Amino acid sequence: MIEKAQLESVLRSTLSLNGCTINVKISKSKVTLSGRVQTTDQKGEAERLAWDVIGVWTVTNDLAID
């Protein structure tokens, strides 16, 4: 089972993602990221962090870049 609170905590504590608004939705083994980031690097970093969570089989990255 994917721990939503754990992933949200990791995203909040990652310095490169400060100032970003990232929402996490979990459905079984799928993570969907939505919200806003400032750069493509931040978008990629958020997705990478989601993939690092045990139990994740699919990540949909719907983050918009400002």
pTM here is 0.94
Concatenated DSSP letters for 35-59? EEESSHHHHHHHHHHHHTSTT--EE
pLDDT (0 to 100) of residue 57: 96
> According to the model, what pLDDT value does residue 27 have?
95
Sheet holding 21-27, edge to edge: 21-27, 30-37, 58-65
Q: Give the CATH number, domain containing residue 21.
A: 3.30.1340
Q: Residue 20's domain spans which residues?
A: 4-65
Q: From first to last of its 66 residues, what are the pLDDT tens digits of the chain?
A: 788 999 999 999 999 999 999 999 999 999 999 999 999 999 999 999 999 999 999 999 999 999
Tell me what pLDDT residue 2 has: 83
Domains of the chain: total: 1
Q: What is the pLDDT of residue 61?
A: 98
